[in-house]
Structure 1
Amino acid sequence: MAKINSLKKQNDFNRVFKTGEVFGNKTFVMYYLKNGSEANRLGIVVSKKVSKKAVVRNKIKRRIKEAYRLNEDSFAMGFDIIIIAKGSCQEEKYNNMEKSLKHLFYKKNLMRS
């Protein structure tokens, strides 16, 4: 499995936030936008509203990235995706986070057939 491509530049984040579509559930909010390439780029946002402790925020980021990596083959390609963690994410177990992430992609028809 290849390394996950990341959104790194502020301009890329701003473009997705301004012109992309948005959808959410109880754990995450997802912004997505077609990027014109053959790969997805993933951006993860966990604010201090979720937890003031960097250790907790980084743990949530690692869990989101791992859930994405394990399911990347079933997701449609060619999108810039930003996942924003909500406050309820702090208490969620990994399995529930993974199901929630899959739910976002399924509801917006971003799953491969």
Structure 2
Amino acid sequence: MGLSKVNRLSSREDFRAVFRAGIRRNSDRMTLRALRMQNATTSVADGKLATATHKVGAPTRIGISISTKVSKKAVVRNRIKRQLRVAFRCLLPRISPGWLLVVIVHPSAARQECVTKQFLQELEQLLVAAEVLNGNS
């Protein structure tokens, strides 16, 4: 089973904020972008002022970005997304609240036939490196 709707990052503005201001950690199969939510975040893009308001104690929200460069087949991309959601669901109780997280999957993830355990291990390493897990922030 995947992530609940409360923990899913879906708005384009939130993805842009994470890509613009978030920290980046890389591994062989994926990149993690992480942004700590503030009471009010303000950003300037293309000369326009955009404000997104988030509560600091709000639940952590997670987005997964996987392009057709990973695989032309939607079946393969969707399988990887499902595996990542399951891995995140296992790690969610240990993640501090108030983060926006985006995982960008690299093409090597499809070539290596990863299983959920491998994704779980790699995600845990990335979250520790980004100091997102409880006890690390």
Taking structure 2 as the reference length, the TM-score comes to 0.77
After TM superposition, the runs of 4+ consecutive aligned structure 1 residues lying more than 6 A away are none
Q: Percent same amino acid at aligned positions? A: 29
Q: Secondary structure at the match of 2:7?
A: coil
Query: What displacement does 1:93 show?
Result: 2.1
Q: Answer whether contact 1:89 1:97 (CA < 8 A) is retained.
A: no
Alpha-carbon separation, structure 1, partners of 2:95 and 2:109: 22
Task: Give CA deviations for 1:27-61 in whole Å, capped at 9, x if unaligned.
Answer: 11011111133210111011100000001100100
Alpha-carbon separation, structure 1, partners of 2:108 and 2:116: 13
Q: Answer whether contact 2:35 2:99 (CA < 8 A) is retained.
A: yes
Aligned to 1:33: 35
Aligned to 1:61: 81
Task: Give CA deviations for 1:66-100 in whole Å, capped at 9, x if unaligned.
Answer: 10001111112210000011111112222111100
Structure with the greater alpha carbon radius of gyration: 2
Aligned to 1:109: 131
More strand, by proportion = 2
More helix, by proportion = 1
Query: Structure 2: 5+ residue runs without aligned partners?
Result: 39-55
Q: Which amino acid aligns with 2:125?
A: H
Q: CA RMSD in A?
A: 1.4
Query: Structure 1: 5+ residue runs without aligned partners?
Result: none
Alpha-carbon separation, structure 1, partners of 2:117 and 2:124: 11
Give aligned pairs, total: 112
Q: Answer whether contact 2:34 2:130 (CA < 8 A) is retained.
A: no
Aligned to 2:108: 88
